[in-house]
Amino acid sequence: MTPPTATPPALRLEGVSHTYADQRRRTTVLKNIDCSFERGTFHTILGPSGSGKTTLLSLASGLDAPTRGTVSFDGQDLARLGLGRYRNKHCSTVFQQYNLLTYMTALQNVTTAMEITGAKPAQGGRKARALQVLESVGLDSDTARRGVLRLSGGQQQRVAVARALACDVDILFADEPTGNLDEDTAQGVIDIFRDLAHGQGKCVVVVTHSQQLAAQSDRVHTLRKGKLTEQVNTR
């Protein structure tokens, strides 16, 4: 599958700067960033440690607000839309540490996310849809009913991905999603992201150190010293 071209951006960052301040000093991590993320496109953000990748992801996923500049979703400023509403209705994030609810089963993690975001499957109930999504990431129904602490790292990452997928949002963010996975499992997760972008028309934004992952994405954004450069992969 090939990415669609010339689609309007789902998410746009304009003149975004971000500064962390404590009592002793102020550190500007992002400087006047302009970029956009379209639907049906698999984006990666590359950069060395401390370059501001995670900060950029936090701003784009509505976990934080920029010090300067605007982040807009479908043309609407997130500050006006509301960060909570944006996170609830329009995007999901997969974290490197999975961040699953440890007192629940894999299935309950997924259905809980669906309930919170109000995701309603077109057919069947939430449970059936959750099982279907879990199966799509390679977790059978027996595994789905196990407590997440009894799953391997790779399985937990798949649950985290399934949780994000089941919410049927427009944008999926992922922070180092393959950092803790072996090569085969990592490739499985990358395949899921590609399918999500190209098969389901979602916007997928992944922060990574992995050149292998970046090479499989449609667009690579590279962060250096707070500045962002963009490169389109032509395969």
Partner 1 sequence: MNFVKRAGLSLWARKGRTLITLCTFLVISVMVLAGVLVNDATARAQQEARRSVGAEVNLGMDLGALTSGGAGLQAPRIDAGTVDAMGGLPQVQRYTYSMWDRGILKGGTELVTEGVQSPMGADGTITLGVLDSSLLPDFRSGNFRLLSGRHLSAADKNDKLLMVEERLARKNGLRVGDKVTLGSNEGTASADFTVTGVYRDPRPVSEAEPEYGVNPANMLYASVGAFAGLNSGQEQGHESGGGSLQVANAVFLLQDADDLDGFKEEAARLAGSALDGFALDANDKALRQMTGPLKSIGSTATLAMWLIGLAGAAVLALLANLAVRQRRGEYGVLLAMGESRSRLILQQALEMVVVAALAVGLSSLFAQTLTQSAGQSLLGREAAAAQRKLDSWQAPPPGSTGIDQGMDPDERPVENADPVDRITVRLDPADVATVGAVGLGIALIATALPAGAVLRLSPRAILTKGK
Contact set with partner 1 (CB under 8 A):
54, 58, 61, 63-64, 84-89, 92-93, 95, 97, 99-104, 108, 112-113, 115-117, 147, 167, 175
Buried b (16+ CB within 10 A) or exposed e, 37-69: bbbbbbbbbbbeeebbbbbbbbbbbbbeebbeb
CB of 60 to partner 1, least distance (A): 12
3-state secondary structure 150-209: HCCHHHHHHHHHHHHHHCCCCEEEEECCCCCCCHHHHHHHHHHHHHHHHHHCCEEEEECC
CB of 83 to partner 1, least distance (A): 9
CB of 57 to partner 1, least distance (A): 8
Measured from the CB atom, the residue of 92 and 155 that comes closer to partner 1 is 92
Nearest to 117 by CA among 93, 133, 98: 93
CB of 181 to partner 1, least distance (A): 19
- The Cα 171–Cα 169 span in angstroms is 6
CB of 199 to partner 1, least distance (A): 24
Measured from the CB atom, the residue of 198 and 202 that comes closer to partner 1 is 202
Measured from the CB atom, the residue of 58 and 216 that comes closer to partner 1 is 58
User: What is the Cα 18 distance to its own chain's centre?
Assistant: 20
Other Cβ atoms within 10 Å of 127 Cβ, number:
15
Angle at 116 between CA 112 and CA 119, to 5 degrees: 90
Measured from the CB atom, the residue of 5 and 102 that comes closer to partner 1 is 102
CB of 68 to partner 1, least distance (A): 17
Measured from the CB atom, the residue of 93 and 208 that comes closer to partner 1 is 93
Helix or strand (DSSP H, E) at 31: strand 26-38
Measured from the CB atom, the residue of 96 and 136 that comes closer to partner 1 is 96
